[in-house]
């Protein structure tokens, strides 16, 4: 059985739910103005983050669960490309970015945000992000890219492409020792070309 652990930084509670149960996240259109957006169908287990290591379900499968109890949990990088040199602007992307920023802060991640990067700037940004010393003290990281895309490529605002595998590999254990053996979550909102 897989389990989901989410922390509520205001109350210090750990939110726990089983993944095999229905999980409905309600995200109203005006979530930007609602700092109290709720997670439905999640069981609350009172616990301070410092005591999370003592939870029975964690102790019973310590080797199968990544610890993710630091506060903040880690850094969340958001790259949001809106206006492009020759491709259409990505309308609505700023709302998506703002919703991600709010969500990650609620999940106790520290956000780092960039807007309208060229292909080269996206690659240098992810490399620089991987070199941040803060990663040593945190348990995980998140990377979100909102941009145009093509077959296995991210497109910068200058229409130059970055290979998705090269982009992701910048944070692997060999290239980014500060994130070695830690969960790295990548979310890419981009087309993958017309043939897919």
Domain boundaries, the chain: 3-64, 74-189
* DSSP H helices in 33-80: 56-59
The residue among 145, 76, 75, 152 whose CA lies nearest residue 117 is 145
From residue 84, how far is each of 1, 128, 153, 160, 191 by CA, in Å? 44, 23, 15, 10, 15
**Secondary structure letter of residue 88 according to DSSP:** P
The two three-digit tokens of residue 99, written as one number: 């919703």
Higher pLDDT, 100 or 12: 100
Q: Residue 2: pLDDT above 60?
A: no
Of 135, 144, 148, 176, catalytic: 148
CA angle 119, 120, 121 (to 5 degrees): 90
The confidence band for 52, taking pLDDT boundaries of 50, 70 and 90, is low
The two three-digit tokens of residue 123, written as one number: 């690659």
191 is known as an active-site residue: yes
For the entire predicted model, the pTM comes to 0.71
The two three-digit tokens of residue 45, written as one number: 């287990």
- Find how far residue 147's CA is from the centre of its chain: 15
Q: Is residue 9 within 8 Å of 69, Cβ to Cβ?
A: no
144 is known as an active-site residue: no
Q: Residue 12: pLDDT above 60?
A: no
Architecture of the structural domain at 74-189: 3-Layer(aba) Sandwich (3.40)
Q: Residue 139: pLDDT above 90?
A: yes
Q: Residue 91: pLDDT above 50?
A: yes
């Amino acid at each position: 059985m897989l389990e989901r652990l989410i922390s509520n930084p205001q109350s210090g509670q750990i939110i726990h739910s089983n993944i095999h149960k229905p999980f409905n996240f309600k995200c109203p259109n005006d979530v930007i103005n609602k700092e109290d957006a709720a997670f439905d169908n999640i069981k609350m287990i009172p616990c301070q983050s410092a005591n999370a290591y003592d939870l029975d379900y964690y102790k019973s499968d310590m080797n199968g669960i990544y610890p993710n109890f630091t506060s903040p949990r880690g850094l969340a990088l958001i790259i949001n490309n809106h206006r492009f040199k020759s491709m259409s602007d990505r309308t609505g992307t700023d709302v998506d970015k703002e919703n991600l920023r709010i969500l990650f802060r609620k999940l106790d991640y520290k956000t780092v945000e960039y807007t309208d990067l060229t292909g080269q700037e996206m690659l240098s940004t992810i490399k620089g992000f991987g070199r941040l010393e803060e990663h040593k003290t945190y348990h995980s990281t998140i990377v979100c890219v909102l941009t145009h895309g093509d077959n296995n490529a991210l497109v910068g605002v200058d229409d130059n492409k970055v290979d998705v595998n090269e982009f992701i590999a910048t944070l692997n254990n060999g290239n980014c020792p500060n994130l070695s053996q830690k969960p790295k979550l990548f979310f890419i909102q981009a087309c993958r070309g017309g043939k897919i």
